[in-house]
Chains A and B, each alone.
Chain A
Amino acid sequence: MKFWNIAGGLIAATLIAGPALADKLDDIIASGKLRCAVVLDFPPMGSRDADNNPIGFDVDYCNDLAAALGVDAEIVETPFPDRIPALVSGRADVGVASTSDTLERARTVGFTIPYFAFTFNVLTKEGVGLETYESLADRTVGSVAGTYEAIRLEEDIDKWDKGGSFRSYQSQADVFLALSQGQIDATVVTSTVASSIAQSGKYEGLVMTGEAPYAVDYVGLIGLRQEYGLLNYLNLFVNQQVRTGRYQELYEKWIGGEAPKLTVDKVYY
């Protein structure tokens, strides 16, 4: 009897002590569930279909990742500003949320190698007469707070100093609403969003005009900075998505055409 008590105690102790050493990657595999933070008002990367189910490039990407890990995917909807709080508070394991890999953010959060790349276009209303990016200098413009394009646009408005002003909204939907009402004259959004919004006809009279001369915006998956096991896995996963042609396949499905290159010339990642 005594032997079994001790043996049982030892087994219990190892079972309890075991998970304490497990990292995030182990936790995900053990829980059988991968929770992805995805932005769902950012078509075609993330949005909802007629039945309110999450769809989009990022949603498919998360499903692929879950399949690779052998677990079930769970989409956690997170507006742009809430991506990091969702990770840090443990509501999500990984952010598949078109996050620009700025050095400033990398001080806080861990980025993978780029899994997607954006270019930018001016989105405006018919008849406002804004053809080029430079013509925004004396207008009221707006964008989603803290996004890559918002930061560039606000900087340029300040630099031009021709009486233009910048407003930041909390979601992409609010920006489109403000634009369609005429509260702002134009916004700068990723070319993918611009074309999908201009074609959708959801907001009347929005047109996509000139390209914004920003550097290509590479976006990475995000995880907690110290979770190397997970980040290494994610890097390999991104690499495999490109290698196996899945990246191109998803690009054709959601955006169409040739997928942008994810490498930068003359330098290793």
Chain B
Amino acid sequence: MFDYTFQWRQAIRALPQMLDGALVTMQIAVLSMAIGVTIAVFLAVARNSSSRWLRAPATAWVEVARNTPALFQIYMAHFGLGSFGIYLSPYIALLAGIAFNNAGYLCETFRGALRAIPATQIRAGRSLGMGPAKAFRLIVMPQMFRISFLPTMNQAVWAILMTSLGVTVGMNSDLTGVTQDLNARTFRTFEFFAMAAVIYYLIAKAVMLGARLIAWRMFRY
């Protein structure tokens, strides 16, 4: 039984407010991906290294990030650290939580990609006089990003959708926060959430398109 008359005009009027929220959502998603990718490269290298002191912390990070809910990670960044007297604002807590999660997943994605690159390439680079770091940066890393491009994009979309968890730690400026606020104020739940869903869809599409453009420029031979 569904006894409801939709009132779209009210929702359309709130569109500018929701689009402001969408900008914040995109900002968090992009920042969290940038931080996540950076950390993940180091984690992937650490997990592949022969030193146990490098492997152990990286493994611990990946285990926690991949095997606990993102909601838990964000909640911990806000309320968990809060109980130790470290106060992250909702924005920072949300960003930290998602970046942590991204790094964990992307580490495994990158590690898989690294496995696919023949070790002989490093040796070839070294024999040309490159140092290990330079060989990794110039020879392995570009290939790693290319091989793992599609799974990385998966994570980017996931990062966008995870920003919606910010409401649980008091975030009220992102798309879900704004939507929830409008909902509580007017009780027009279905209209606002339907619009939010469409906006999330479009953001995800926009990010994918942007990433594709970057990839098209970066991964040309």
Contacts and interface: CB of A to CB of B under 8 A. Distances in A.
Interface of A: 80-81, 83-85, 88-90, 102, 104-105, 107-109, 142, 145-147, 150-151, 166-170, 174, 177-178, 181-183, 224, 226
A105 B181 CA distance: 13
Interface of B: 1-4, 7, 10, 78-79, 82-83, 85, 87, 90, 167-170, 172, 177, 180-181, 183-190
Contacts of B180: 81, 145-146, 168, 170
Contacts, number: 84
A108 B186 contact: yes
Contact of A151 (B79, B167, B185, B189): B185
A145 B90 contact: no
B82 A181 contact: yes
Given A145-B184, A170-B168, A226 B3 contact: yes
Contact of B181 (A145, A178, A182, A226): A145
B2 A146 contact: no
Contacts of A80: 184
Nearest to B177: A168
B35 to A, nearest CB: 23
Contact of B184 (A90, A146, A174, A178): A146
Contact of B185 (A104, A109, A177, A181): A104
Contacts of A150: 184
Contacts of A182: 82, 85, 87
Contact of B190 (A88, A107, A168): A88
B186 A105 contact: yes
Given A102-B185, A167-B172, 9 more contacts: A88-B189, A104-B185, A145-B181, A145-B184, A146-B180, A168-B177, A169-B168, A178-B82, A183-B82
A178 B80 CA distance: 10
A83 B189 CA distance: 10
Contact of B79 (A90, A167, A170, A177): A177
Contacts of B82: 177-178, 181-183
A85 B179 CA distance: 14
The CB with the most chain B CB atoms within 10 A, among A146, A151, A224, A226, is that of A146
